[in-house]
Amino acid sequence: MDGTLVHVPISSTQFLMNIYQELGLNFSLEQIAVAREKAEKWWNWKFSDYTLRNHEAFVEYNCKLLAALGAKGDLQRLAEKVQSHWENFPEEADEKHGIRGYFQSVIGPRIAGAPKGKLSLEMWRYALNRVGAAPNEVFHIDNDYETGIMGAREAGIRPILLDRKDTYTSITDCTIIRDLTEILELLGI
């Protein structure tokens, strides 16, 4: 949901800084950005198999990030608290938006057995099978060109790029929308 169905108006680095401040940790945006860049490289290496990305993996990531920032104390406990904030973020919780009822299925890499997430054909095959549709009968909306758009295209599904911030100005090979409400026009509603 994050980034596509749910738009969070602040950056994830700012959100993380807010969490740290609530926990009594004071790091600058720049410190967090530098530490996140290093931790992301580790994360993408260690958890390149998306099916391994679970609560424990995210806690481990948060531990790594806190250590890189020089946090003191029980880093495991702090990492659990940080992850709890992420998991209970109101804008991220679909039940708080009441949107779960609008979907026939909610699919993720673990359920689909898709080690590369949206870059795995298994993800798309599983999703299509769950809804009983062929690739040419659906479209996929994503805010990430490199994974969601490329993955959908590889599976034969029409991709639609959601680009709220005009990030992908050079992209011309797929439909681009700036707001989810534009889907209504695409569907002729």
Mean pLDDT of 51-72: 93
Is 45's pLDDT higher than 60?
Answer: yes
Averaged over 103-132, what is the pLDDT?
91
Predicted local distance difference test score (pLDDT) of residue 8: 63
The mean pLDDT value of the chain amounts to: 88
Which has more confidence, 85 or 56? 56
**N residues, the chain:** 189
Q: What is the pLDDT of residue 85?
A: 82
Q: What is the pLDDT of residue 1?
A: 52
CB burial class (10 A; 0-12, 13-18, 19+) of residue 179? exposed
Predicted local distance difference test score (pLDDT) of residue 165: 87
Task: Compute the 3-state secondary structure of the chain and give helix, strand, coil in percent, each to the nearest 5.
Answer: 55, 5, 35
Of all residues in the chain, the percent with pLDDT exceeding 90 is: 64
Q: How many CB atoms lie within 10 A of CB 155?
A: 21
Evaluate if residue 93 carries a pLDDT over 60. Answer: no
pLDDT tens digits along 1-43: 566 776 666 778 998 999 999 999 999 999 999 999 999 999 9
The pLDDT value given to residue 37? 92
Reported as a pLDDT band with limits 50, 70 and 90, residue 168 is very high
DSSP state of 83: H
Q: Say what percent of the chain tops pLDDT 70.
A: 89
- 132-161 per-position pLDDT tens digit: 999 999 999 999 999 999 999 999 999 999
